[in-house]
Structure 1
Amino acid sequence: MYNQETAKIVIIEDDETIRDGYAYLINHTSVYKVVSTYPSFDVAKHKIVKDAPDVIILDIQLPGTSGIDALPVLKKLLPKTYIIMLTVYETEKMILDALANGASGYFTKNTSPAKIIEAIKEVMQGGGPMSPDVAKKVIMSLQKNQDSPLTKRETQILELIARGKDRSQIANELFIEIETVKTHVKNIYIKLNVNSKADAIKVAKANKLI
């Protein structure tokens, strides 16, 4: 257990206003001390071990190395440090990737500094704090049918179809050929016993496959 009176915080965030705002408020309204702030992981990685932070507040959308890719590297460099993700986006995949890569908390950028200060305390006590909207997405993901007849890739494609993406957009997003997308869609229709996108989405949602 860390001594909360002396907890050291590092903020890695490319938006200067957010970075400075959080740093100022943590330093002036809590027992924690922001020892360093960085505009990117690429700048932070050479100095962060010397900072020896107890908690890192890490933005996901960073220039250069993204926060998601930086996470496992930071966990290797500083295995005992807790990492709280900060993001504009909260797609299910991003949340689950961050948690799988070792994030201790996950917040959207509209979170008040008071909540972030509370989250620092919570992670140091072994908790996993999240914004309510993030927690909702994690719960929805856990509620999905684990006995789905669809493969992981088919589920991914059906989720993109449900979000209104066409075949070429899906191909681009998943770095696969359009023909491959067509084959997957055909297999989805066969497995779900449907003949249209609308029916596939309807059946998948009714059975919690997406």
Structure 2
Amino acid sequence: MNLQKEIIIIEDNCDVSKGFELLINSSENYRVIAVYDNCEDAIKNIKKLRPDIILMDIDLPGMSGIEGTSIIKNKYPKIDIIMITVFENSERVFEAMCAGAIGYLTKNNGYQELIKALDEASKGGAPMSANIARMIVKSFEKNVIENPLSKKETVVLTQLAEGKSYKSIAVNLDISVDTVKFHIKNIYIKLQVNNKEDAIARAKEFKYI
């Protein structure tokens, strides 16, 4: 019984794809079952080949690797896709991850890094180079949206979302109904909405409540 994980390479640089193929086929646990230089041809054959892992170049002729990743993951969610590229760009990293890639490596990674990435992917991990990992952390830090609401406004909106009336909220918080209305007006301004429903929806979307 063949227990090797099966790999497809999608890479338009022939030297790079041949290099990956030689490295992977020299390992015990993996083998390359197909190589394509574009996403369109690969997508046509994935249903038949059913690979475990795809190594995907981010910049391909025609359909980009990011677009191809999105299509493949929508059709075949169990296939793991690792992006391989010369770019170390946090924006591209996010695009690839949002499209469904589980890992991200640069083309200068050697045999050990490549096999380690395949091992991590096989175990449910998210392989990526150290530089890219640092960029993702920094990008997450920059993209964190802090709650603009005060603690009291958050409590008011939470109770509003629970279906409580202005009067009930006033009693619960030991404040006047006018103060409740004042807080709600500020909530609308801060969340840039005009009604209760939109305020609740936006607060839940950004996990403020």
Fold-level similarity (TM above 0.5): yes
Alpha-carbon contact 1:55-1:82 (below 8 Å) kept:
yes
Provide closer, same or farther for how the CA distance between residues 7 and 121 of structure 1 changes in structure 2, counting only shifts above 3 A.
same
Partners of 1:108 and 1:131 within 8 A in 2? yes
Decide whether the 8 Å contact of 1:4 with 1:31 is kept in 2: no
Match of 2:170 in 1: none
Contact 1:10 1:57 survives alignment (8 Å): yes
User: Which of 106, 109, 115 is the equivalent residue of 1:108?
Assistant: 106
1:2-13 superposed matches below 5 A: 5-13=3-11
What is the aligned counterpart of 1:39 among 37, 41, 47? 37
Q: Output the CA distance in 1 between the equivalents of 2:15 and 2:6.
A: 21
Q: Structure 2: which 5+ residue stretches go unaligned?
A: 149-209
Matched, 1:78 2:76: yes
Cα root mean square deviation, aligned: 1.9
Pair 1:115–1:4, CA change in 2 (3 A): farther
Query: 1:155-199: CA deviations, max 9, x gaps?
Result: xxxxxxxxxxxxxxxxxxxxxxxxxxxxxxxxxxxxxxxxxxxxx
Offset of 1:112 from its aligned partner?
Answer: 0.9
> CA separation of 1:73/1:133 partners in 2, compared to 1, >3 Å: closer, same or farther?
same
Which residue of 50, 67, 70 corresponds with 1:69?
67
**Percentage of pairs with the same residue:** 37
Shift of 1:132: 0.8
User: Which 10-residue stretch deviates more, 10-19 or 113-122?
Assistant: 113-122
* Alignment check: 8 A CA contact 2:9 2:17 kept: yes
Displacement of 1:58: 0.3
CA separation in 2, counterparts of 1:51 and 1:23?
16
Normalising by structure 2, report the TM-score: 0.66
> Quick check: which has more Rg, 1 or 2?
2
Cα pair 2:12 2:38 within 8 Å, conserved: yes
Distance 1:138 1:33, change over 3 A: same
CA contact (8 A) 1:4 1:32 kept: no
Change (3 A) 1:148 1:13: farther
**Which residue of 28, 31, 37 corresponds with 1:30?**
28
Shift of 1:148: 9.8
TM-score (norm 1): 0.66
What SS class does the counterpart of residue 110 from structure 1 fall into?
coil
Return the letter of the residue paired with 1:69.
Answer: E
* 1:143 counterpart SS class: helix
Query: Displacement of 1:5 after TM fit?
Result: 2.9
Distance 1:126 1:13 in 2: 24
Q: Which deviates more, 29-38 or 61-70?
A: 29-38
Alpha-carbon distance, 1:77 to partner: 2.6
| Cα offsets for 1:122-179 (capped at 9, x unmatched) | 1111100101111010011122253399xxxxxxxxxxxxxxxxxxxxxxxxxxxxxx
Tell me the amino acid that sits aligned with residue 45 of structure 2: K
Structure 1: distance between partners of 2:136 and 2:2: 29
Distance 2:19 2:4 in 1: 20
2:115 counterpart residue number:
117
Does the residue aligned with 2:66 lie in a helix, a strand or coil? Answer: helix
Q: 1:138 to 1:93 in 2, by over 3 A?
A: same
Q: Is 2:4–2:28's contact at 8 Å kept on the other side of the alignment? A: no
